[in-house]
Amino acid sequence: MAVMAREAWTDERLDDLNKKVDDGFAKVDRRFDRLEGRLDARMDKGFGELNQRFDRMQHTLFGAAVAISVALIGSTATLAGIALF
């Protein structure tokens, strides 16, 4: 047999529902408070590792740019030397 939903709510029922909702949110807040410190530490560690990777990539790109510049200057000097002599 199907249960019919109530058409009207009494003040007591609404107060009970309000308390139940408040208790549920308080429980969720406590869980987030416990996790917050651990998540912050994990995020700080992760961003630190990410910053190190970007630093290494920047050094690699700078080295590659220097190598390409040296190669271009060398090839230009070689071609100029061949053209002059």
pLDDT in tens, the chain (85 residues): 566 666 677 888 888 999 999 999 999 998 888 887 777 888 889 999 999 999 999 999 999 999 999 999 999 999 999 988 7
Provide the pLDDT for residue 79.
93
Provide the pLDDT for residue 1.
56
Provide the pLDDT for residue 4.
61
Residues 6+ apart with CB under 8 A from 13: 6
pTM for this one? 0.50
- Which letter, b or e, does each residue of 34-51 get, where b requires 16 or more Cβ atoms within 10 Å of its Cβ? eeeeeeeeeeeeeeeeee
